[in-house]
Chains A and B, each alone.
Chain A
Amino acid sequence: MANTQAMCSSFLGELMTATHNFTTSTGNSFKAALYLASATVNASTTAYSSSNEVTGTNYVAGGVTVTNGTSPLSSNTSTTAGVGYWTPSASITYTNVTLTTAFDAVLIYNSSASNKAVSVHTFGSQTVTAGTFTLTMPSNTTSTALLRLATT
């Protein structure tokens, strides 16, 4: 089994039912949970589950809250195309944790909407020992934002 970076398919449909609100302050709360390298989180993931989530000292099941200081932005790239995009406004940090079983993925999910899944992001397999695991976000631009909805 393996984890695969993806925007969750269920999230795509839920965009059309206004299930998710990324507006800063007044919008939903989003969380980030880490998953073992032996897990299978991918486009088919529909919601947060503790199955195959990392466990360890000072890691709380469900992960940490994502800082959302910037509402989604959008930009036209032509008369017929454009992009909407969003990126957490701060790094996602797990402080003073010990996670001895290898992990390689983070699931972003909406903790205000029945923990519905948003996206999966993968990285090289890691462990942490009495230390800090930090995920720094890409720049929040039309071409690099963490989540991008684009038409061409």
Chain B
Amino acid sequence: MALVNTTKGEMDEALLEKKEGFVDNDDEYTTWVEYWLDGELVHRSVHVQLKKSVVLSGSTASFE
């Protein structure tokens, strides 16, 4: 029996409706999982994989 942390405490996963999804683009790969009980969202977790750096482009002045 797998237990899921929910707004109503830990519940047996088998009693819940599970929904999953993902977003994949240039910026991120994100997955999410939701558990619903009688039409009520009782759990939602999100995992974001960041893909992009922030970059400082430096330069030096020339005396030439």
Residues of A with Cβ closer than 8 Å to B? 5-7, 12, 85, 96, 98, 119-124, 126-138, 143-152
How many of B's residues come within 8 Å of A, CB to CB? 30
Least CB distance, B23 to chain A, in whole angstroms: 5
Residue of A nearest to B25 (CB): A124
Ordered nearest first, which 10 A-B pairs have the shortest CB separation?
A: A131-B45, A129-B44, A7-B54, A136-B49, A149-B56, A151-B58, A134-B47, A148-B55, A123-B48, A132-B45
4 additional contacts (CB under 8 A) given A121-B54, A126-B46, A151-B57? A5-B52, A138-B50, A143-B53, A146-B53
- Name the B residues within 8 Å of A146 (CB-CB): 50, 53-54
Question: Which chain B residues border A98 with CB–CB below 8 Å?
Answer: 7
Chain B residues near A96 (CB, 8 Å)? 5
Docked CA distance A119–B52 (Å): 12
Taking Cβ atoms with an 8 Å cutoff, the residues of B that contact A are 5-7, 23, 27-28, 30, 32-34, 41-60
User: Are A136 and B48 closer than 8 Å at their CB atoms?
Assistant: yes
Q: What total of A-B pairs shows CB separation below 8 Å?
A: 100
Closest-by-CB residue of B relative to A127 is B44
A90 vs B7: C-alpha distance in the bound complex, in angstroms?
Answer: 28
Residues of B within 8 A of A132 (CB): 45-46
| Nearest-Cβ distance from residue A3 to partner chain B, whole angstroms | 12
B57–A150 CB distance below 8 A: yes
Nearest chain B residue, comparing its CB with the CB of A11: B56
Q: Is the beta-carbon distance between A148 and B56 smaller than 8 angstroms?
A: yes
A136 near B56 with CB under 8 A, answer: no
If A126-B48, A136-B47, A136-B50 touch, does A131 touch B56 (CB 8 Å cutoff)?
no
